[in-house]
C-alpha cells in the first residue's frame, strides 16, 4: 500500500502571516490536528500541530484580561511557531516506511510531495487504520500463533494445513523472535468458527499453536 492512495488531499493550509488565534480557530472548526503553512507560491514552508498551539497558548501572564491576552496572541503569527524543518515523503512511499519515518522522527504527520509540489498529508491515525485492516482484526476473527524454524517451506506447510481443513486465512504476517534467533512467529487470523479445525489441522502436522497470551513461549518453540 502506497500513501499516495490514502493521503488526505483536501488540505487545510495557512500562510506564515496567519495569527495564532486564527490558526487555533481553524484547527477547532476543521477538527484537524495539523496545519500546513504555505507561502504565496503555495510552497510548503512549515507545519503547526495542535500541540504546538496549546504550548504557545499557555501564557503565564494571568494578570492580563482576556481582551489583552487575545490582543497579544493576535500578534503571534504562524511563522513564529511553525516547525520549519519539515519531514516530508513522496507519494510512492509505502505505508510501512511512513510508519517507520514517523517513529524515528517522533512525529504524527507527514506532508506528501509529488514533483516538489505539496500533494497531501498522512497522519499516524491513517497509518494505524491501514495496518489494522492489513492485520484483519475484527470481532468475528481469532488470532493463532505458530512458531517455526526460519527455513524455506515452513509458511507453505502452515498454509497447506489450513487448506486441507478448508480454513480461510483472513490475514497473515511473520514476526522474527529476537530472543530466539532463527525462530519466526507466524501470526494468523481466521474466522472464530474455524479456530478449532485450524488448531487440530496444524497440530496434526506437529505444529504447536498458541491461541492466547503466554508469559513463557518456550513450550511452543519447534524442537
Tell me, what CATH number does 7's domain have? 3.10.580.10
Question: What is the average pLDDT across 55-83?
Answer: 71
- Domain enclosing residue 102, as ranges: 3-131
Q: Are residues 95 and 157 in the same domain?
A: no
Q: Distance (Å, rounded) from C-alpha 97 to C-alpha 3?
A: 10
Range with the poorest average pLDDT among 29-38, 61-70, 81-90: 61-70
Q: What integer pLDDT is reported at residue 64 of this predicted model?
A: 54
User: What is the reported pLDDT for 51?
Assistant: 87
Q: What pLDDT, in 10s, does the model give residues 93-138?
A: 999 999 999 999 999 999 999 998 999 999 999 998 888 887 777 7
Number of domains in the chain: 2
35: alpha, beta or left? (left if phi > 0; alpha if psi -120 to 50): beta
Indicate which CATH number applies to the domain containing 200.
3.30.70.260
Amino acid at each position: 500500500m502506497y500513501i499516495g492512495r490514502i493521503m488526505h488531499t483536501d488540505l487545510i493550509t495557512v500562510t506564515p502571516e496567519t495569527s495564532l488565534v486564527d490558526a487555533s480557530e481553524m484547527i477547532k472548526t476543521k477538527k484537524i490536528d495539523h496545519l500546513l503553512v504555505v507561502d504565496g507560491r503555495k510552497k510548503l514552508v512549515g507545519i503547526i500541530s495542535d500541540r504546538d498551539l496549546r504550548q504557545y497558548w499557555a501564557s503565564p501572564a494571568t494578570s492580563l484580561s482576556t481582551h489583552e491576552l487575545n490582543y497579544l496572541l493576535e500578534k503571534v503569527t504562524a511563522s513564529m511557531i511553525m516547525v520549519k524543518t519539515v519531514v516530508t515523503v513522496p507519494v510512492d512511499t509505502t505505508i510501512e516506511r511512513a510508519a517507520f519515518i514517523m517513529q524515528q522522527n517522533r512525529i504524527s504527520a507527514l506532508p506528501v510531495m509529488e514533483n516538489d509540489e505539496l500533494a497531501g498529508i498522512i497522519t499516524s491515525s491513517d497509518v494505524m487504520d491501514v495496518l489494522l485492516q492489513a492485520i484483519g482484526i475484527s470481532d468475528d476473527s481469532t488470532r493463532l500463533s505458530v512458531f517455526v524454524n526460519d527455513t524455506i517451506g515452513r509458511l507453505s506447510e502452515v498454509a497447506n494445513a489450513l487448506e486441507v481443513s478448508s480454513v480461510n486465512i483472513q490475514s497473515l504476517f511473520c514476526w522474527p523472535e529476537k530472543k530466539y534467533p532463527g525462530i519466526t512467529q507466524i501470526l494468523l487470523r481466521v474466522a472464530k468458527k474455524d479456530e478449532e479445525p485450524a488448531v487440530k489441522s496444524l497440530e496434526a502436522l506437529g505444529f504447536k499453536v498458541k491461541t492466547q497470551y503466554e508469559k513463557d513461549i518456550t513450550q511452543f518453540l519447534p524442537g
